[in-house]
Amino acid sequence: MRSLWQGFVKLVFWEFERGSLPYDILVIGVVVFVFASPRSWFNDQPQTGPVVHTQHVELLAGGEAATQVYRVDAHSLVAPVRNPQLEREAHDLLDKNVDALRGKSFTILRIEPNLGPDGSVRSYDVHVKR
pLDDT digits (tens, 9 = 90+) for 43-67: 766 666 555 444 467 777 765 567 8
pLDDT digits (tens, 9 = 90+) for 76-102: 776 656 677 888 888 888 888 888 888
Q: For the chain, how far is it from start to end, CA to CA, in angstroms?
A: 80
Q: What is the mean pLDDT of residues 120-127?
A: 86
Q: What is the pTM of this model?
A: 0.52
Q: Hey, where are the domains in the chain?
A: 2-42, 54-129
Q: Which of 23-27, 62-66, 67-71 has the lowest mean pLDDT?
A: 62-66
